[in-house]
Amino acid sequence: MPILDRLKKIIPAINKHYTVVTGPFIMSISSPVPSVQRYIESHYAHNLIDCNDNTFIDFEIQIGFGKGIRRWFRQQATFTFNHHQPFKPLPLNQANAMLEWGMNWVISSYAHQYLIIHAATLEKDGNGIIISAPSGSGKSTLCAYLAAKGWRLLSDELALIDPETLQLHGLGRPMNLKNQSVDLMRNYYPKSAFSPIIQDTHKGKISLVKAQSTYTEQLPLVADPKLLVFVNYDHSESCYAERVTQSHALTEIIQNSFNFGLLNQQGFQTAKALVNKTKALFIEYHNFQECESVIKEYLDERSSIPRQQSGNTASSECAHIT
């Protein structure tokens, strides 16, 4: 090991504090981990604000070093929220991913003023879209492509629906791309937008990608939801699309919600109202341009896309997205 790296392990790290605005929330994030500090300062530069006595902090979290021998040997990172560590430590090279996963966990576990859906969300020309799919189905990849093409990124992971207004609230945070998606999106983003590759996570290799012109200069990150999109990435299908019935769309929203049961009747009423006010579409694709064209066409109400037919293979797949 180079001498400089040995010295970095011995010299005490300086704990830095950041106040980060992410959509409707203000988070206090502290960390002595240099890689986390560099990540926040590069990927959250436009989200950082000065904290004063009038600043209300919604969530306070810390990414720290592992304890005992894990501080020095096979180093680990820890996630702390409210003086409690809800997760097991991870290898130190995964500290930035741990920060993002932890932020998602905090919001989905405590922000119950919203119906929270596992979905990517974007906005263009005042129209909000919600892209829902199981992990590995191309949700974040399509989200990253659309964000590179001028759509305003709200979130690649969490859709926050206000039960009172049905408005869609975004978070304005980096996108979490996995495995082949990282290489696919290098054609659409500058090198500086990508965090260093994080290897051997439970999701494979990942990179955290900063969208362009998304952050606080465009706040508030709020949109009127107009379209629900259920997607599946398929190398053999250029772009196939069909409409989804309201009953199927409602089922998918319920199954993909983090807090539907907790919100009880309010959760059901919000999900039903969301489905009633939006169109719903299933897309199986590998051609990003065609996929975007279909979404635009459907938003413009010029679509000749057929309605979902009973017994259709794609219809069956759409109905069973979880």
**Rounded to an integer, what distance in angstroms lies between the CA atom of residue 310 and that of residue 85?**
48
State the CB neighbour count (10 A cutoff) for residue 194.
18
User: By the 8 A CB rule, do 114 and 165 touch?
Assistant: no
- Residue 293: what pLDDT? 94
DSSP-derived secondary structure for 124-173: ETTEEEEEE--TTSSHHHHHHHHHHTTPEEEESSEEEE-TTT-PEE----
1, 41, 76, 233 from 88: Cα distances, Å: 27, 26, 10, 32
- Alpha-carbon distance of 276 to 89, in angstroms, equals 43
Whole-angstrom Cα distance, residue 207 to residue 225? 28
Distance CA 116, CA 259 (A): 6
DSSP state of 191: G
Q: Which residue has the tokens 């797949």?
A: 317
The 3-state secondary structure of 267-312 reads: HHHHHHHHHHHCEEEEEEECCHHHHHHHHHHHHCCCCCCCCCCCCC
Every domain of the chain and the residues it spans: 3-110, 115-319
Tokens of 88: 């097991």
pTM, 2 dp = 0.87
CA distances from 191 to 183, 188, 237, 270, 311 (A): 11, 10, 29, 40, 45
Task: Identify which of 122, 128, 117 has the alpha carbon closest to the alpha carbon of residue 249.
Answer: 117
**Any idea what DSSP says for residue 316?**
H
Sign of CA dihedral 232, 235, 236, 238: positive
State the pLDDT at residue 28: 97
pLDDT tens track for 309-321? 433 333 333 332 3
Q: Identify the pLDDT of residue 304.
A: 52
Query: What does DSSP assign to residue 245?
Result: -
CATH topology for the 115-319 domain: Phosphoenolpyruvate Carboxykinase; domain 3 (3.90.228)
Each residue of 55-76: b (16+ CB within 10 Å) or e?
eeeebbbbbbbbeeebeeeebb
Q: Which residues of the chain have pLDDT under 50?
A: 6-7, 10, 214-216, 309-322
- According to the model, what pLDDT value does residue 135 have? 76
pLDDT tens by residue, 228-265: 999 998 888 889 999 999 999 999 999 999 999 999 99
Q: Are 207 and 195 in contact (CB under 8 A)?
A: yes
